[in-house]
Structure 1
Amino acid sequence: MNQNKLGNSDLKVSAIGFGGMSLKPANKSENQRILSEALDVGINYFDTADLYDQGENEVLLGEALKSYRNAVCIATKVGNKWREDGSTWDWKASKSYILQAVEDSLKRLNTDYIDLYQLHGGTIEDPIDEIIEAFETLKSQGKIREYGISSIRPNVIKEYLSKSKLTSIMMQYSLLDRRPEEYFELIDQHHVSVISRGAVAQGLLIDKPAKTYLSYVENEVKQAQKIVHDFAKQQEVSAQSVSLAYVLAHSTVASAVVGIRTTEQMKDLSKTIQELDNLSAHELLELSSAFKTIQYADHR
């Protein structure tokens, strides 16, 4: 599988990334099989967060990837702190908290360093300069290699692009959610990469029943499903392959993260990776012309 340079960094990430959020600690043997197959098909980018399963997702990935540590890129996220009773979490974006939280993530991941440490959200009211200082401190200490943000808020994204040396921005992006495209040129100008999530739009572009999604009403989603499936049939590939190929056709996108929960989903993704091919300029235009461009309404 192709590997792409992440922003201006030395990190190279597989075009398809592995989203570990849905893996469950109780399914230890199945999780190991899933992750082993992901490695076998060339996936080297694995994404988690300290929020997932109250940190247990980091433990799971750290244990499973321990033997491959030097060959993989581990990304995790920070900024959400679970309450003592485990009932919910609070937003905790401060320098002191980030410097504390990274130590816990390093222990859970059983590693000396994190390849990509990401702010798990963010608001314009955050102490952004202080947060950037925290990431730069961790980078200078060798505890993280690079840092980024996971955000779909344009005002937040612009602040970090203008003030920091971040490497990546994780954004929800698909044929049904083309909002990030408005900012690709700006992101490119800062030599930053996008890591996409949600390329199949909650499964709506593959096999889930049509429903209202963002500004699309149910009938529009049904039409979108038909367009993708007809295109896939014409190309003799899967709808998932078409969905991922569209996202990856934009050079701003370094990796498209796919959430995997079961061995069956991993088998489907393995097949998709084998048939995944670059879209021609004509095919890209054909697909993009069939889907309306929508823009972020909030946080501008």
Structure 2
Amino acid sequence: MKYRKLGSSDLEVSEVSFGCMSLSGTEEENVRLLHQALNQGINFFDTADLYDKGKNEETVGKALRQQRDKVILATNVGNQWRPDGSGWDWNPTKAYILEAVDQSLKRLQTDYIDLYQLHGGTIEDPIEETIEAFELLKQQGKIRYYGISSIRPNVIREYVQKSNIVSVMMQYSLLDRRPEEQMLDFLHQHQISVLARGSLAQGLLAGKSPKPYLGHSAETVAKASEALQQQTPSGAKAMETAVQYVLQHKAVATAVLGIRTQEQFTQALAAANGKPLPEEVAQALRNQVPALTYELHR
């Protein structure tokens, strides 16, 4: 397993990490997958208080508490469940964040969170107040570092300018190259790492039947899948090349893959151990898929 530095922090994260949102098996099955991942060198685990109304955090915490010193634990805050459980509302206020972190710490069975992330955000948010909350939590020792999960360039710029974020989680794949327009280079220049999610484009880059995706037609999706097949070494799978495509940019610290089954874990491990993508191969792939750009929130 290879590791990369997370922004300006002192954390070294595995190039492929465990997106815990997908966990849906029995508790025993979920714990087994999490243990296997850690034993094979995956050290970054991403969850959120939103997932399964906190039960996802509980599963992760129970599975990893005995090896806490080997784990880089990330969770998200900002989506507040309604008392009746009918849905959730966006709440990035300082008061809510300071309240929510204690609940996450309890569910995760730990006294600190390595990376605490704002789970979204808009330019209308009380951004300074949100930053105050994260900075206070750092001072209190409840979190080590903080970041945001956002694809909105205008929001990202605000946090880069005003805060000490070490990471931005954003959707990035061969079929969603919007971050390549400006954000990847911008974040790299500021020593802020990208945590790439959606690297397999809902499985469309891992063998699923082509269908329209974002602004791409089903024909373009099929062309992207075919290009990956052509550029994948003998004995490997196209999804490994899809992941390595994301990792080829220096801004990206890790590809966060949703892992639900033993087969998906095996595939994720193969992708992690794949050979880095030469620049000429990455460029050949780009030439086959038109780039999208952000139309909103610029």
Same fold (TM over 0.5): yes
Deviations 1:44-74 (A, max 9, x none): 0000000000000000000000111001100
Does the 8 Å contact 1:2/1:15 carry over to 2? yes
* In 2, Cα distance between equivalents of 1:267 and 1:5: 24
Distance 1:186 1:264 in 2: 36
Q: Which residue of 2 aligns with 1:112?
A: 111
Contact 2:33 2:262 in 1 (8 A): yes
Distance in 1 (alpha carbons) for counterparts of 2:287 and 2:217: 18
Q: Which string of whole-angstrom CA distances, capped at 9 and with x for unpartnered residues, describes residues 166-218 of structure 1?
A: 00000000000000112112112211000000100000011111111011111
Deviation at 1:104, TM superposition (A): 0.3
Structural RMSD (CA): 1.1
User: Secondary structure at the residue paired with 2:257?
Assistant: strand
| Equivalent in the alignment of 1:289 | 287
- 2:95 is matched by which residue type in structure 1? S
Partner of 2:242: 243
User: Which residue number corresponds to residue 275 of structure 2?
Assistant: 277
The residue number in structure 1 matching 2:32 is 33
Q: Which residue of 1 aligns with 2:7?
A: 7
Structure 1 residue 270 displacement after superposition: 2.5
Give the alignment of 1:43-192 within 5 angstroms.
Answer: 43-182=42-181, 183-192=183-192
Structure 1 consecutive aligned stretches of length 4 or more whose deviation exceeds 3 Å: none
Look up the match of 1:209.
Answer: 209
Q: Is the 8 A contact 1:62 1:109 kept in 2?
A: yes
SS of residue matched to 2:22: coil
Query: SS at the partner of 1:122?
Result: coil
Aligned length in residues = 297
> Hey, what's the Cα distance between the residues in 2 that align with 1:235 and 1:193?
31
Q: 1:63-98 CA deviation, whole Å, 9 max, x = no partner? A: 000111001100000000001111100001100100
Identity in percent: 54
Check conservation: 2:224, 2:285, Cα contact below 8 A. Answer: no
Residues 243-262 of structure 1: matches in 2 within 5 Å?
243-262=242-261
Q: In the aligned structure 2, how far is the partner of 1:89 from the partner of 1:107? A: 20
Gaps of 5+ in 2: none
Q: Is the 8 A contact 1:33 1:263 kept in 2?
A: no
Conserved in 1, the CA contact under 8 Å of 2:244 and 2:271?
A: no
Structure 2 residue matching 1:21: 3-state secondary structure: helix
| Residues 41 and 273 in structure 1, CA contact (< 8 A), matched pair in contact too | no
Match of 1:23 in 2: 23
Local SS of the residue matching 1:230:
helix
CA distance in structure 2 between the partners assigned to 1:46 and 1:176 by the alignment:
24
The answer on whether the counterparts of 2:19 and 2:256 sit within 8 Å (CA) in structure 1 is: yes
Rounded to whole Å, the distance in 2 between the matches of 1:59 and 1:261 is: 16
Tell me how far 1:268 sits from its aligned partner: 2.3
Structure 1 residues without counterparts, runs of 5 or longer? none
Matched with 1:222 is 222
User: Residues 251 and 235 (structure 1 numbering): CA distance in 2 closer, same or farther, change over 3 Å?
Assistant: farther
* Pairwise CA distance, 1:235: 4.6
Q: After superposition, what is the alpha-carbon deviation per residue over 1:198-255, rounded to whole angstroms, capped at 9, x for unaligned?
A: 10000001111111101111111111111112222x4531111100100001010001
Q: Aligned to 1:170, what secondary structure does the other structure show? A: strand
Q: Which amino acid in 2 is paired with 1:242?
A: T
Query: In 2, are the aligned partners of 1:6 and 1:12 still within 8 Å (CA)?
Result: yes
| Whole-angstrom distance in 2 between the partners of 1:207 and 1:144 | 38
In the alignment, the residues of structure 2 paired with residue 226 and residue 45 of structure 1 have an alpha-carbon distance, to the nearest angstrom, of 31
